[in-house]
Structure 1
Amino acid sequence: MNFTSPESLIFWTTIIFVVFFILLKKFAWKPILEAVKTREESINDALLSAENAKKDLLNLQADNEKLLAEARAERDTMIKEARELKEKMIADAKEEAQVQGEKMISQAKASIESQKNAAIAEIKNQVSTLSIEIAEKILKSELASTEAQSKLVEKMLVEAKLN
């Protein structure tokens, strides 16, 4: 056999190729396919993880928006309650001030009335004392004589009989 002829070269090339193919299939093909399969699975897992992470991120964003909305609603409620409390406190303070003012006015009126009545009573007392003193002085001067006393008694008797 001549190793340099084209037929023998094709033959030996085919034999070497078949042997090389069998060796590759036996020793290298399985590990290469397993490596490719493992790589494909890891890529699929990575894609699935990325998709799950994206879903989780969307869920977190939705939860954050929900929490923000709740916080805003709670803030608005608290502000509303604070305003209502402020208005109630102002109204209560006004009402209390009005009640106290009316109470002070009524006390002042009562005090003025009491002082007025006391002054009137004092004036009446002084007027009656002065009237008695004046009447006493007038009677003393008018009744200094016996004749005037007799006339007064007669006049009183006449008036007493008429009544």
Structure 2
Amino acid sequence: MEQLIEDFSFGLFVWQSLLFICLVLLLRKFAWKPILDSVGEREEGIKNALAAAEDAKKEMQNVTADSEKLLKEARAEREAMLKEAREIKDKLIADSKEQAKVEGDKMIKQAQAAIDSEKKAAVADIKSQVANLSVDIAEKVIKEQLSDKSKQLKLVDDLLGDIKLN
């Protein structure tokens, strides 16, 4: 340190001080003001960005609330649609069962009518066959009895005896 004090030059000190002051003034005029302005602008930009972020946060909360509301409405609508679909399904099943029952009853009635018709036709056919057989048997019996002349005369006498004359 002693060497610095011994080598000290007052003129050099004044010139260095004068140059330093000029440099500070030049920096103040041309550099610090733009630097401070840019720092101020940066600070203002940060404030605006924070405000925008806060607004975006509020907007996101509103959008989230709206989306939750829409989701609840969609769920309620889905439940209503499912309930309506179940009711329609149950109604269709009940209608189909009723229609099947009606169709089954109709088919049973038609089958019974067909059976009755077939039964009547069979009975009529049997009666016809019985009548034909009876006529055939009677014809054979009468032929047998009428083959002899004495039997024929006896039959005529019996028939005349059965008839009452007034």
Same fold (TM over 0.5): yes
Do structure 1's residue 76 and structure 2's residue 80 form an aligned pair?
Answer: no
- The residue that corresponds to 2:70 in the other structure is 63
Matches within 5 A, 1:95-134: 95-134=102-141
Going from structure 1 to structure 2, the CA distance change for 1:55 and 1:123 (only over 3 Å counts) comes to: same
The one of 73, 84, 96 equivalent to 1:89 is 96
Q: Secondary structure, in 3 states, of the residue corresponding to 1:144?
A: helix
The 1-side partners of 2:93 and 2:85 are apart by 12
Task: State the alpha-carbon separation in 2 of the partners of residues 56 and 96 from structure 1.
Answer: 58
Q: Is structure 2 residue 156 aligned with structure 1 residue 149?
A: no
Structure 2 residue aligned with 1:7: none
Instruction: Find 1:49's aligned residue among 47, 56, 65.
Output: 56
CA distance in 2, matches of 1:151, 1:41: 143
SS at 1:95 equivalent: helix
How far is 1:150 from its partner? 9.0
Moved more, 42-51 or 71-80: 71-80
Percent sequence identity over matched residues?
12
**Cα deviation, residue 28, structure 1:** 4.7
Compared CA separation, residues 37 and 140, structure 1 to 2 (3 A): same
Aligned to 1:34: 41
CA distance in 1 between counterparts of 2:55 and 2:73 reads: 27
Q: Supply the distance in 2 between the matched residues of 1:56 and 1:116 (Cα, whole angstroms).
A: 87
Give the distance between the partners of 1:138 and 1:65, measured in 2 at CA. 107
Relative to 1, partners in 2 of residues 1:56 and 1:150: Cα closer, same or farther, differing over 3 Å? Answer: closer
Q: In the aligned structure 2, how far is the partner of 1:78 from the partner of 1:57?
A: 31
Structure 1 unaligned segments of length 5 or more: list them. 1-15
Superposition TM-score, scaled by structure 1 size? 0.69
Give the direction of change, closer, same or farther, for the CA distance of 1:131–1:151 in structure 2 (3 Å limit). Answer: closer
C-alpha distance in 1 between matches for 2:150 and 2:100 = 75
Cα 1:102–1:67 shift into 2, 3 Å: same
Whole-angstrom distance in 2 between the partners of 1:113 and 1:41: 105
Structure 1 CA distance, aligned partners of 2:36 and 2:137?
147
Q: Deviations over 1:111-158 (max 9, x none)?
A: 0111011101111121122123223322334x337xx739947x849x
Deviations 1:60-97 (A, max 9, x none): 11111111111121112112111211221122122211
- When the two chains are superposed, the root-mean-square deviation of aligned CA atoms in Å is 3.1
Give the aligned length.
139
